[in-house]
Chains A and B, each alone.
Chain A
Amino acid sequence: MSARTDGSAELIRKTAVELADLLATGETTSVEITQAHLDRIAAVDGSADAGVHAFLHVDAEGALAQAAESDARRAAGEARHLLDGVPIAVKDVLTTQGLPTTCGSRILQGWVPPYDATVVRKIKDAGLPILGKTNMDEFAMGSSTEHSAYGPTRNPWDQTRIPGGSGGGSAAAVAAFEAPLALGTDTGGSIRQPGAVTGTVGVKPTYGGVSRYGLVALANSLDQVGPVTRTVLDAALLHELIGGHDPLDSTSVDEPVGAYVTAAREGVRGDLSGLKVGVIKELAGADGSGWQPGVMERFADTVDLLKEMGAEVSEVSCPTFVHAMATYYLILPAECSSNLAKFDAMRYGLRVVPEGDPSAEAVMRATRDAGFGDEVKRRIIIGTYALSSGYYDAYYGQAQKVRTLIARDFAAAFENVDVLVSPTAPTTAFPLGEKLDDPLAMYLQDLATIPANLAGVPGISVPAGLAAEDGLPVGFQVLAPALADERLYRVGAAVEAALTARWGGPILDKAPVLEGVR
């Protein structure tokens, strides 16, 4: 059986596009690919106590059944999509009919939604077997996945460190070769920052570019679903699959899906002549505070690389970005405090009934106390305060106006440059527990990712190498104007191709070997 084991080990290290090619040529089957990933999950994912713990729920039986159906379709010449048969992991904030959806919260423990999110429907229709649901900070509030009620995910590069958040499960699953593809969501950086600290690729599409129907909302004006992958080309392919208008989401943009795969393939050629790149002064560690030197070194190297590929690089100032953190941490709590009011113990989810003959309201209070963790409580209380009469104008109202200024800064910058760049996160992965009880320090992780959500513009994080001081991955962020997501793929693929050639292979080849099959 050793040949089989070697074959499985090879399969899990393939990109989604490579797996699609193997399926197309009949060299392997979806059942083999899916089983290889399930074996990997069994070997390295562990539990809340040890292992990567990227998954909250693994659906081995369902995934293998979907894989067998995919193989039958291919045998009949009826494959539905290039990725038909390539398995995927789904962040636990997206509803999956028949599979538990907890959002990392006790309040939804055991809840099985009666419907699929539109993006889940799309991947099912295309034939991608769903391996399971990935861990996350409770209701996507956090930058470390430590706020999950079910225990943290561990970074495959160093299991004493955070995998980023809120989508640490999706990023770690892909980084640990437990899944070739995953879906994430990004409200203030929850796809891009985990991508940065795990050496993977994460894309936050233009706001409205991907349907949010069936996404359990954190902050409706900020949330966006996007791809989590190991390569830019895989992200482009998955983005094309999940993108597009959805009548079930009134905030979805009625525009055709862009040619992301074409843009990524063009980027690989490494010619960026004529491209105007702006380095965001306010997000380039100018003041030194909080920016890790090793992160800034890799960022500077990557900017040099863009120049070598023919891009015209200039510094661009977006002065109001220094207020983006404060703006975000008023708007987000305000929206989430009203969104999470729906968890009332009446229609679904946890119900805690105090002693005696409690009223519905007493049940609600007890349930919300038992069902929500500290970070959720903090944000609900801040949001309730920011929206309360007497404080509304000074906090929420003011934040909405500053949001306008931030969008104007982007608009002004994009009059002069095609894309903006910055480091994705100010540091590499920090040790588990370090910022758990220091909310403000945790919030600073999102410094560079938040402005894009406030303005609705798209962003990508691609690996930029390892920081000298700790040998951990650093992310390079590219931002583009709304609905110009193609530029992310062109620039991202160019950077990826050049750096992979320099490193002699993908960045994840440098990650430590995890226990279990490789």
Chain B
Amino acid sequence: MSQLTRDEVAHLADLARIDLDDAELDHLAPQLNVILEAVASIGAVGSLDEVPPTSHPLPLTNVFREDVVVPGLTAEQALSGAPEAEDQRFRVPRILGDEQ
């Protein structure tokens, strides 16, 4: 079982869009390795090529309803929690300019 390095934790946090400062990385990285070591025991069950995966406890697929109009939230309701709104739309910070 490979251990996560501090840099790898920083990369994962980056993928999850969470800014972690140095103190948080120092605090969380060792804890994450303890957790990963514990859950890695799942490998000890062995190869399960013949076993289908379960994504969901119910045998339900493609639940449809009639295609009819039903009342939904008004624009005002949908925007009621918005940090910023303008002209019945969510106002967001600029979305261009940061190269990833």
Binds B, one of A24-32, A181-189, A318-326, A492-500: A318-326
Q: Is the CB of A395 within 8 A of B39?
A: yes
Contacts of A115 in B (CB 8 A): 73, 77
- Provide the bound-state CA to CA distance between A342 and B13, in Å: 16
- Verify A407–B90 contact, CB threshold 8 A: no
Q: A353: which B residues are within 8 A, CB to CB?
A: 93
State whether A382 touches B35 (Cβ < 8 A).
yes
How far in angstroms is the closest Cβ of chain B from A43?
Answer: 33
Determine whether A111 belongs to the interface, using a CB cutoff of 8 Å to chain B. yes
- Best-buried of B28, B51, B65 by chain A (most CB within 10 Å): B51
Interface presence of A260 (CB below 8 A): no
- Bitwise, B37-48 to A at CB < 8 A (1) or not (0) is 011111111001
Q: How far is the CA of A323 from the CA of B39 in the complex (A)?
A: 9
Chain B residues lying within 8 Å of A407, measured Cβ to Cβ, are 54, 57
> Which residue of the partner chain B has the closest CB to A330?
B39
Across-interface contacts of A113 in B (CB, < 8 A): 81
The answer to the question of B18 belonging to the interface, with a C-beta cut-off of 8 Å to chain A, is: yes
A364 within 8 A of B: yes
The answer to whether A114 and B73 touch across the interface, beta carbons within 8 angstroms, is: yes
Asked if A349 contacts B18 (CB within 8 A), the reply is: no
Interface pair A439/B18, CB less than 8 Å apart:
no
- The verdict on A377 contacting chain B, using a C-beta distance below 8 Å, is yes
Q: How far is the CA of A455 from the CA of B57 in the complex (A)?
A: 6
Interface residues in A427-444 by Cβ distance below 8 A to B read 437, 439-440, 443
Are B28 and A377 in contact, with the CB atoms below 8 A? yes
Residue in B18, B20, B27, B36 whose CB lies within 8 Å of A382: B36
Distance from A437 Cβ to chain B, minimum over Cβ atoms (Å): 8
Residues of the B chain whose Cβ atoms lie less than 8 Å from the Cβ of A345: 83
Report B's interface with A, CB cutoff 8 A.
4, 9, 12-13, 15-21, 24, 27-28, 31-32, 34-36, 38-45, 48, 51-58, 60, 63, 65, 73, 77-78, 80-84, 90, 92-98, 100
Q: What are 27 A-B residue pairs whose CB atoms fall within 8 Å in the complex?
A: A250-B60, A250-B63, A253-B58, A320-B45, A326-B42, A330-B39, A330-B42, A347-B82, A357-B94, A361-B100, A365-B18, A368-B19, A369-B24, A374-B28, A378-B28, A378-B31, A381-B18, A381-B28, A381-B32, A382-B35, A398-B42, A401-B45, A401-B52, A404-B51, A405-B51, A437-B31, A456-B57
Besides A368-B19, A380-B16, 13 new A-B residue pairs in contact (Cβ under 8 A), listed by A number: A326-B39, A329-B35, A344-B17, A347-B82, A358-B93, A359-B95, A362-B98, A365-B17, A372-B18, A395-B40, A443-B35, A443-B38, A455-B57
